[in-house]
Structure 1
Amino acid sequence: MKLKQRVVLLAILLVIFIFTKVFLIDNLDTSAANREDQRAFHRMMASLHVELDPRLDHTLQSPWEIAAQWVVPREVYPEETPELGAVMHAMTTKKIIKADVGYKGTQLKALLILEGGQKVVFKPKRILGFRRAPLVVGRFVNLRTEIKPVATEQLLGTFMTVGSLKRLALVLLVGLQLDGGVMTCLFFFCSIRVSTWNRLNYLKNGVLKSALKTAMSHDPISPVLSDPHLDALDQRLLSILATVKQCTDQFGPDVVLVEDRMTLSHL
């Protein structure tokens, strides 16, 4: 074989070798990333799975005192703690000793005081990692036997009874279609925390639905949401991501994504 042919053959073999190495490295990187995503997914699911167990393995035997010690400037409760199930169990089982009107807002809220003096309200943000929001747990409440006997006059005055409804009061809308108006503020200000943006991206492709199912699987009123409701939440998540993408395309990620020095354990 002539020297020129040998050189050409070696060059071809070298190119094939380089492309093979690059392909293998890319595949290895992708596989490693996929494995890390799987591990992160399982870590998040494990943290959302909370058994409502009344037992407390703590020097303090009051769930309310334990919960009070959790509160710090950046969060109301820690991401993981063995006493979380006991505190949530107390929230859903302790006797209601007083009921009053909740604080500001446009939706119905009732401020309840449970046995032991703990205040709770009817109002969930654990999935998004917003631990600055209070703990949420489901609870069946009998309005007639648990609320009315201990309700204040102000709260009793808000109850709708037969004949008390005003003629123009709006009770039900038929065929209501959401127009996306709730995202007006997001599109108007075009600003979102980096940690929130990362978490929202992590929850797409059905992860939000799985996470909600896991978080609510041991709730006392499970199943809280049906599959069609969960599918609707997945669709709304895509709308939020599309709105932020529109903002970053218009103003750039450096303007839209706000650094908040928060880290999420799953990322």
Structure 2
Amino acid sequence: MKWKERISLAIFICLVMFAAVLVLDIQMSRATSHGSGRFVPMHGRVQHKSFQRRYLQKIQSGQIVNNSSERMELGKSVQKNNDADEHHDETNQLPNPLPDVAAIRKSLNAQIRTKLVKPENEEYFRRRDSFQVLLDFADEAEILGQAKKKKKRRDPTLGAVLGYEMNSNSSVWDKYHLSITKGELYPEDGDYIEELVDEMNGSPIVNISQKAGGTQLKLVVEFPSQRYALFKPMRFPREQETLPNHFYFTDFERHNAEIAAFHLDRILGFRRAPPVVGRVLNMTSEIYALADTELLKTFFISPANNLCFHGRCGYYCDTAHAICGNPDMLEGSLAAFLPDKEIAPRKTWRHPWRRSYHKRRKAQWEEDDHYCDIIREISPYNAGRRLPDLVDMAILDFLMGNMDRHHYETIRAFGNDSVPIHLDHGRGFGRPKHDEISILAPLYQCCIVRRTTLATLLRFEFGSKRLSQILRASLSRDPVQPILWDPHYEALDRRVGIVLDVIKECIDKNDPADVLVGYSSWKKGR
């Protein structure tokens, strides 16, 4: 044998011996680590540990176990189940490489049920610690939603101020119009609002015309006895977001935003938005057959053989943006008209925090952090309820992402004590993943908010139900539900926390009595 062959054979023998020693060493170490003569496949252990890590991070309702002692207890429980599985494998021919998830879940549920009655997790305590200073300005019963409602005398109604009296024959429309006060459009216990909503949804339509003015198409719907509602047609599905290249003043209006805004306004306790309900109309028999001459001129048959119309307005009233039946039905929102202006005149005010409505220019308040100092010197913002009312309006707008607030209206009969009416929310609920902080400018520039508004927000943050849950339940009663895309509910809860952060910063920098309207009287009455 040549010397080259001898060297090759020697190297091969060495490699074989090295591999045999390495395998024997690995097998011995694994046997020793398990304390038994049975070898466990490595891939099985990796899968189990991966499962254990994933499972210990979750529990049945999706809540997180953050406490280290709870993790140890859960880990012991899972390990017991693992030991039982190993014993089971030795006595059966078909071993189960993973523990029984259902069995573990059942055993863990009994151990942790009492710990999960309340949202006692790390995020909950983080929020509570962060807003601890705010919790001092609300009663526990208010936060838990258990506060007893005090019977307070209602302000004079519009009917009383104007000299109109209601009787047993008064319609729900009369009750709505004549029960308006300086602080709200309807009382908290106003059952007739539900009747009014049902009537708008079910009453026959006698005439339809286009509302004059405005940037987008709106229809005036007439019911019997000269009752009117504003109809905004559906343009897009619920999940359609604001187009990224659209300015706030060119965004499409959404009918479902009007519906959701009415419910949100009522849940917040403001009750300053007119009642709104969803309804599906027949394009042929309820719109085309009843439309006035001007609206009829814009009807046409689309290439898909659907009946369409576009009306006349500043934006999106052309063939490319026509409203079409699907195939002959059209969904929309109906908002009840306020009392006729000839009976109850209204005053239109330019909103102090109005945006520029320009592609390049900004409004003064967007560049001047001390802008509120100027506003506080101007009537009616220098005294009375108007400035806190605008802060309430800003909070409502922020929660639904509405940047389109250029004017507001009040009822002249109540003078400067009239609450601003919450109208026109069609551009809300457009960007659930974006929080437009500038909407809260009246709050963070003036650092003023009602204590009762703060208590309401704290109830949504720490009470038994979040704002998203309450709004979802309320909207579920609307005829065209579901009203909102799910990400909008998530945005609501997130934005409640942001508003509380802004209020907390104001209180940290100022005397609470200067920030919270009604704080002094609340403190005395405790």
TM range (shorter): 0.5 to 0.7
Q: Which amino acid aligns with 2:506?
A: C
Q: CA deviation at 1:113?
A: 3.3
- Residue 210 of structure 2 aligns with an amino acid whose one-letter code is D
Match of 1:88 in 2: 197
Distance 1:207 1:71 in 2: 29
2:280 maps to what in 1? 140
Give the Cα separation in 1 of the matches to 2:169 and 2:216. 35
Distance apart, 1:214 and its partner CA: 2.2
What's 2:514 paired with? Answer: 255
Maintained 8 Å contact 1:103/1:109: no
Q: Unaligned 5+ residue runs, structure 1? A: 1-32, 42-57
CA distance in 2, matches of 1:109, 1:184: 30
| Structure 1 residues 17-41: Cα deviation after superposition (integer angstroms, max 9, x where no partner) | xxxxxxxxxxxxxxxx579936459
Judged with a 3 Å threshold, the aligned counterparts in structure 2 of structure 1 residues 260 and 114 are, in CA distance, closer, same or farther, namely: farther
Give, in angstroms, the shift of residue 107 of structure 1: 7.6
Equivalent residue, structure 2, for 1:130? 270
Shift of 1:243: 1.0
- 1:231-251 CA distances to partner (integer Å, 9 max, x unpaired)? 111111111111111111112
TM-score (norm 1): 0.62
Aligned 1:1-267 pairs, distance under 5 A:
37=144, 39=146, 59-60=168-169, 62-96=171-205, 97-101=207-211, 110-121=219-230, 123=258, 124=262, 125-141=265-281, 146-147=286-287, 149-150=290-291, 153=294, 156-158=311-313, 160-163=317-320, 177-205=434-462, 206-259=465-518
Question: Which SS does the other structure have where 2:169 is aligned?
Answer: coil
CA distance 1:119–1:252, change in 2 (3 Å): farther
Q: Give per-residue Cα distances to partners, 1:11-67, cap 9 Å, x unaligned.
A: xxxxxxxxxxxxxxxxxxxxxx579936459xxxxxxxxxxxxxxxx9326321232
Q: 1:136 to 1:207 in 2, by over 3 A?
A: same
Alpha-carbon distance in 2 for matches of 1:138, 1:164:
21
Deviations 1:135-161 (A, max 9, x none): 232223456764564368499212533
**Structure-1 separation of matches of 2:194 and 2:512:** 39
Matched letter for residue 193 of structure 1: R
CA distance in 2, matches of 1:109, 1:198: 37
* Residue 220 (structure 1) shift: 0.8
Q: CA RMSD in A?
A: 3.9
Aligned pairs, number: 208
TM-score normalised over the length of structure 2: 0.34
Relative contact order (alpha carbons < 8 A, sep ≥ 6): 1 or 2 greater? 1
Taking the aligned partners of 1:110 and 1:60, their CA distance within structure 2 comes to 29
Q: Is the 8 A contact 1:76 1:134 kept in 2?
A: yes
Question: 1:261 and 1:136, CA in 2 relative to 1: closer, same or farther beyond 3 A?
Answer: farther
Relative to structure 1, the CA distance from residue 249 to residue 67 in structure 2 (aligned partners, 3 Å threshold; closer, same or farther) is: same
Answer yes or no: is the 8 Å Cα contact 1:78–1:131 preserved in 2: yes
Q: Which runs of 5+ in 2 are unaligned?
A: 1-139, 149-166, 233-257, 296-309, 323-358, 360-429
Amino acid at match of 2:266: R
**Distance between the aligned counterparts of 2:486 and 2:321, measured in 1?**
36
Q: Which amino acid aligns with 2:473?
A: T
C-alpha deviation, 1:163, in angstroms: 4.8
Same amino acid, percent of matched pairs: 28
Partner of 2:405: none
Closer, same or farther: CA 76–35 of 1 in aligned 2, 3 Å = closer
